[in-house]
Amino acid sequence: SDISVIAKIESIDSLKNLEEIIRASDGAMVARGDLGAQIPLEQVPAAQQRIVQVCRQMNKPVIVASQLLESMIEYPTPTRAEVADVSEAVRQRADALMLSGESAMGQFPDKALTVLRSVSLRIERWWREEKRYEATQLPSVGSYFSEKISEEICNSAAKMANNLEVDALFVYTKTGHMASLLSRCRPDCPIFAFTTTPSVRRRLNLQWGLIPFRLSFSDDMESNLNKTFSLLKARNLIKSGDLVIAVSDMFQSIQVMNVP
């Protein structure tokens, strides 16, 4: 189905059955406000981290929501504690952060969104700088998927991308699965995902680090690459000389090249 289901994790029962719920869903939302009413407040951060980790391992997008910038419902600037809270969600590598009351009924919805964006971007830059010389933390292979080849290819491509400091990753995918697996690895460079299906492109928008495009491609990989180079260069997303890595679920291969 083109309709995806996001499970709202908000109760003790949902935490007890977390893996089963996430496996049956297309993603999860960490509803911290409701969750904090069900479990002791000091347990909420650990619960959030666990939900994010399980979603990542199972290759499902996870949204952190509720009270991210609560004070901005009434005030134009957030508290320092709220900024730290947003930073922690970004450091945990959640796929998305979601405002609720701040934008639904707050007096400063535009400012709240600007703060959320600027803090997230800054923490992502800092994270990449701090972790540049550390080993890439890759998900374990074979834990949840019977077909391990695509997992191994994506893990290897992400590790190569970080070690070689490439400028971009390209992924050609009909179903979106290989793009999701690359996103799960959280590489340092942007991931440009190309698919022929509009619903797949829309779905990939939610996942970490992915910039999806709808693109008609063929079994001729060289033709696909040339078409991609023209598209992204026209949008100033890449330039001649950039180093890129390309993977495809059609050929299950890894290619490293410079943009002509």
- Beta strands across the sheet bearing 6-9: 6-9, 27-31, 62-65, 96-98
Tens-place pLDDT, residues 229-255: 999 999 999 999 999 999 998 888 899
Instruction: Identify any residues that bridge with 31 across adjacent strands, giving them in sequence order.
Output: 65
Instruction: Identify any residues that bridge with 243 across adjacent strands, giving them in sequence order.
Output: 258
Q: Which residues of 4-43 are buried (b: 16+ CB within 10 A; e: fewer)?
A: eeebbbbeeebbeebeebbeebebbbbbbeebbebeeeee
Q: If you write DSSP's letter for every residue of 215-243 in order, what string do you get? A: ----S-HHHHHHHHHHHHHHTTSS-TT-E
Query: Torsion-angle region of residue 209: left (phi > 0), alpha (psi -120 to 50) or beta?
Result: left
Closest-CA residue to 73 (of 114, 106, 112, 121): 106
Domains of the chain are 6-131 (3.20.20.60), 149-258 (3.40.1380.20)
Tokens for 211? 């910039």
Q: Return the residue matching tokens 């690359």.
A: 182
Strands 243-248 and 253-258: antiparallel
Tokens for 48? 């959030």
Q: Return the residue matching tokens 């981290």.
A: 49
Tens-place pLDDT, residues 161-206: 999 999 999 999 999 999 999 999 999 999 999 999 999 999 999 9
- For the cut 90, the answer to whether the pLDDT of residue 75 exceeds it is yes
Q: Tell me the mean pLDDT in the region 43-51.
A: 95
Residues 6+ apart with CB under 8 A from 108: 72, 75, 76, 102
What pLDDT, on the 0 to 100 scale, is given for residue 252?
82
C-alpha span between 109 and 102 (Å, rounded): 6
